[in-house]
Structure 1
Amino acid sequence: MTNSKRRKGLSVASALLGGVLVLSACSGGDEASGSEGNDTSQAKVDEAAAQKTSEAQIKITPADGSNNASINNSATVTVSKGTLAEVKMTTADGTAVAGEISADKTSWKPSAQLERATTYKIAVTATDADGREAHENASFTTVSPDNSFIGSFTPEDGSTVGVGMPVSINFDKAITNKADVQKGITVSSSSGQEVACHWFNANRMDCRPQEYWQEGSKVTLKLALDGVEGAEGVYGVQQKTVSFTIGRNQVSVVDAETKQMKVMQDGKVIKTIPISAGSPDNKTYEGQMVISEKFKETRMNGATVGFTDDDGKGEYDIKDVPHAMRLSTSGTFIHGNYWGAKSIFGSVNTSHGCVGLSDTKGADDPNTPGAWFFDNSIVGDVVVVKNTGDKTIAPDNGLNGWNMDWAQWKAGSAI
């Protein structure tokens, strides 16, 4: 083929090919009509898809990806326009967390308090009225110990205590936002007595009425601290209510001068017991003291409270002190004494600062003064010590805030 013929052939082929291309690309009105037809068809598909989508709307709290989540109020699941079919909650390592769907199947929550510093995952399935399923997933991490605080409180929930028992709360982190934390704590009494709280330091707050609690009253402590910022970046996690009952009104008065203790109930003396208080060199603190702990037997080592000999050993180390009841954090007790001569009780003060009562070794004789007083005392009872010649015990040395007058006590409130 000559070059001219070849070029002509190519031109014809190109023309034919071009015609095909033109025909393919420009179906004119037919292509336009086809496009409109596709739009209509897509609309029908979209409408059908919309009809198949569940109307159930699931909400998980906290939001997916949350940090420092509450251990009390997190992991709540609710649904509107439908009912819950299944809720699965696990820790990051796959451990299942028990929970319960409400009777109307519109909410779910865990059966127990969550753990701190733990990542949880939740997978939810719900259905609408037509049985169409909706799904939602979330993951969150609860507040860490470093970013949270708790308050250890006394007395225990459900206990019966003496009329002098304050509510004492010790926080495991220093509290700088005292007012916010105090607002989250409520102490009330069935007696209607006004209760005020006093901060001794950044970690301790005690609450009490002006006078001793009324006999037989019920005291309620409410902690609504969940999410309360106690210090910068440190949040409360407690949300609970506890209560305790005030027992009979017993106040005992120790007179170091007469070496006698008068045990009174409702202001009437029910028993007088000879005692031996602190020696002239080791006087017993004066003031109103509250029994905070009871031990049938306990060890007392002088080295733990500063009584040491030249070798640094305790001046005394008694491993089986009977019927001991704590009156101060610093080591003041009222307890049984079996090692002292019976003649000292009621006649001479010989102790290192405690109040001693005649007793026997082994704490197994119920007829001794030490055993009687132990058996007839409860935590929260008041022991008033006078005429020792020593200073009044500090209000924060034990549960002894009664040694502060009402005006001073209220002045220590943050609100």
Structure 2
Amino acid sequence: MYVRPISGAAGHARRGGRLALAVGGLLLAVTACGGGGGSDAGSGSQDGKGKPSAQAAGGQSEAVVTIAPKDGATSVDTSGALKVGAAKGKLTEVVVKDDKGTAVAGTITADGSGWTPATHLAAATQYQVHAGAKDSAGRTAAEDSSFTTLTPDNTFIGTFTPEDGSTVGVGMPFSIRFTRGITHPEDVEKAIKVTTVPAVDVRGHWFGNDRLDFRPEQYWKAGTKVTVKLNLDGVEGREGVYGKQSKTVSFTVGRNQVSVVDAKKHTMKVMQEGKVVKTLKVTTGKPGYATWNGQMVISEKFTVTRMNGDTVGYDGEYDIKDVPHAMRLTGSGTFVHGNYWGGDAFGNYNASHGCIGLRDVRGGYDSGVPAAWFFDHSMVGDVVVVKNSTDPTVDPSNGLNGWNLSWAEWTK
């Protein structure tokens, strides 16, 4: 049989097919050469700097991330229990959030081997932890965990002054009293942060184990904005007793008013911004009942109040039910107040049981008397300084009177 040779387009097509196959094989070989070996060589890439990416490096990361406490743990301590670490690699991120989405601050160590929170954790709260690390080849590893902190059986809170949103005088400290005696004062003090505008160094001082006051070295500058963050929730104030407060308090310092009482001259010079605006005649404590010397801060104001000697150890000596224009200076009962029974004592001699008296009328209705003027021009936090009395300086813990401690004594 005669078979005609194939020629023309059909022949070219067949040869073209063989050429295409050959070229395809060459391309496959070139592609394979770009891989770097291994079964997944065809998926490699570079990071733009000539270094293989984590994916291109291939294999599982050698970095090992550890989180304590373990996933699902309950009744976890609020301090010291949360720790994140990395072995055979360095931590690159640690994110800890509570069940409300609030992040917990912390710092990765310089060598990348660990992370700890910057503060304690809140009680009875669930936390989520995500941590990532890289090994020396840049390959990543990550771990996630969650746990719940303990619910305390015993708690404490702090009652404080001044109130949130108030305007106070330049002598007003931030003073907080705790409902339980504190045996871990450093932990409690660390959980209270005071910031100011303009900025000033503010330090805390403990009076006993249940009171902590904060103040600057000198009186506040007029107009200062003070913010106090009480992050006491979860703080172990004493063994097995935890704080349960999380609150922000802000107050503003008003104009500068400092009044100086001279117990010998029987006068009070009222100064605003360092200038005398009024001089008032006063009477102070008589012999045997002298008024304390020193710097005292107005802590309360009463339009009318009752003063009973029985409450301060002067049994039966007086009981005045309607003392007008009264402002407290000490916890032990020293006031600057209106006096309608003092006769001609004002400016002439000392006749009180330790208080500073200003002329007034019964009922306090006359706005023109000295006591009413001083009451109307004073605010909580104003300073009253007494000098030339025969009594010692007031105890700094008696009222809000820590200004009677030097800065070195306050901060030690």
TM norm structure 2? 0.65
Aligned mate of 2:99, from 76, 82, 90: 76
CA distance in 2, matches of 1:77, 1:368: 57
Post-superposition shift, 1:388? 0.8
1:340 maps to amino acid: G
Cα displacement string for residues 177-197 of structure 1 (whole angstroms, at most 9, x for unaligned residues)? 111111101112112111111
CA distance in 1, matches of 2:216, 2:202: 4
CA distance in 1, matches of 2:332, 2:325: 18
CA distance in 1, matches of 2:294, 2:345: 23
After superposition, the Cα gap between the structure-2 partners of 1:141 and 1:391, relative to the gap in structure 1 and judged at 3 Å, is same
After superposition, the Cα gap between the structure-2 partners of 1:267 and 1:351, relative to the gap in structure 1 and judged at 3 Å, is same
Post-superposition shift, 1:141? 9.0
CA distance in 2, matches of 1:402, 1:218: 20
Higher helix share: 1
After superposition, the Cα gap between the structure-2 partners of 1:66 and 1:75, relative to the gap in structure 1 and judged at 3 Å, is farther
User: Who is 1:274 aligned against?
Assistant: 281
* Preserved CA contact (<8 Å) 2:152 2:240: no
TM norm structure 1? 0.65
* Preserved CA contact (<8 Å) 2:283 2:346: yes
Aligned mate of 2:331, from 329, 333, 347: 329
**Aligned length in residues:** 285
User: Who is 1:316 aligned against?
Assistant: 318
CA distance in 1, matches of 2:239, 2:151: 17
1:365 pairs with 2:372 = no
Q: Secondary structure at the match of 2:283?
A: coil
Post-superposition shift, 1:66? 5.3
Post-superposition shift, 1:140? 10
Post-superposition shift, 1:391? 0.1
User: Who is 1:384 aligned against?
Assistant: 385
After superposition, the Cα gap between the structure-2 partners of 1:196 and 1:140, relative to the gap in structure 1 and judged at 3 Å, is closer
CA distance in 2, matches of 1:77, 1:254: 54
CA distance in 2, matches of 1:379, 1:289: 11
User: Who is 2:119 aligned against?
Assistant: none
CA distance in 2, matches of 1:285, 1:299: 21
Cα displacement string for residues 62-105 of structure 1 (whole angstroms, at most 9, x for unaligned residues)? 97975999xxxx99378xxxxxxxxxxxxxxxxxxxxxxxxxxx
Q: Secondary structure at the match of 1:275?
A: strand
CA distance in 2, matches of 1:377, 1:317: 26
CA distance in 2, matches of 1:229, 1:382: 35
1:261 maps to amino acid: M
1:324 maps to amino acid: A
* Preserved CA contact (<8 Å) 1:224 1:238: yes
After superposition, the Cα gap between the structure-2 partners of 1:349 and 1:173, relative to the gap in structure 1 and judged at 3 Å, is same
After superposition, the Cα gap between the structure-2 partners of 1:169 and 1:140, relative to the gap in structure 1 and judged at 3 Å, is closer
CA distance in 2, matches of 1:271, 1:65: 65
CA distance in 2, matches of 1:68, 1:352: 53
CA distance in 2, matches of 1:214, 1:188: 14
* Preserved CA contact (<8 Å) 1:63 1:140: no
Q: Secondary structure at the match of 1:175?
A: coil
Q: Secondary structure at the match of 2:176?
A: strand
User: Who is 1:88 aligned against?
Assistant: none
Structure 1 regions of 5+ residues with no counterpart? 1-61, 79-113, 121-138, 309-313
After superposition, the Cα gap between the structure-2 partners of 1:64 and 1:329, relative to the gap in structure 1 and judged at 3 Å, is same
2:207 maps to amino acid: F
User: Who is 1:179 aligned against?
Assistant: 186
CA distance in 1, matches of 2:351, 2:341: 12
Q: How does 1:209-224 map to 2 (within 5 A)?
A: 209-224=216-231
Post-superposition shift, 1:345? 0.4
CA distance in 2, matches of 1:140, 1:235: 12
User: Who is 2:242 aligned against?
Assistant: 235
User: Who is 1:339 aligned against?
Assistant: 341
* Preserved CA contact (<8 Å) 1:68 1:142: no
User: Who is 1:36 aligned against?
Assistant: none
* Preserved CA contact (<8 Å) 1:291 1:325: yes
CA distance in 2, matches of 1:67, 1:331: 46
Cα displacement string for residues 232-263 of structure 1 (whole angstroms, at most 9, x for unaligned residues)? 11111111111100000000000011100000
1:357 maps to amino acid: L
CA distance in 1, matches of 2:186, 2:325: 41
1:318 maps to amino acid: I
CA distance in 1, matches of 2:375, 2:77: 47
Aligned mate of 2:299, from 287, 292, 300: 292
Q: How does 1:394-409 map to 2 (within 5 A)?
A: 394-409=395-410
Q: Secondary structure at the match of 2:331?
A: coil
1:262 maps to amino acid: K
User: Who is 1:352 aligned against?
Assistant: 353
Aligned mate of 1:256, from 259, 263, 269: 263
Post-superposition shift, 1:379? 0.1
1:374 maps to amino acid: F
* Preserved CA contact (<8 Å) 1:67 1:143: no
CA distance in 2, matches of 1:388, 1:75: 57
After superposition, the Cα gap between the structure-2 partners of 1:358 and 1:65, relative to the gap in structure 1 and judged at 3 Å, is same
Post-superposition shift, 1:370? 0.5
User: Percent identity among equivalent residues?
Assistant: 60
2:345 maps to amino acid: I
Structure 2 regions of 5+ residues with no counterpart? 1-70, 79-96, 102-121, 126-147
CA distance in 2, matches of 1:231, 1:353: 38
1:156 pairs with 2:163 = yes
Cα displacement string for residues 345-374 of structure 1 (whole angstroms, at most 9, x for unaligned residues)? 000100000000000111111111111100
Q: Secondary structure at the match of 2:381?
A: coil
Runs of 4+ residues deviating >6 angstroms? 62-65
Cα displacement string for residues 7-60 of structure 1 (whole angstroms, at most 9, x for unaligned residues)? xxxxxxxxxxxxxxxxxxxxxxxxxxxxxxxxxxxxxxxxxxxxxxxxxxxxxx
Alpha-carbon RMSD: 2.7
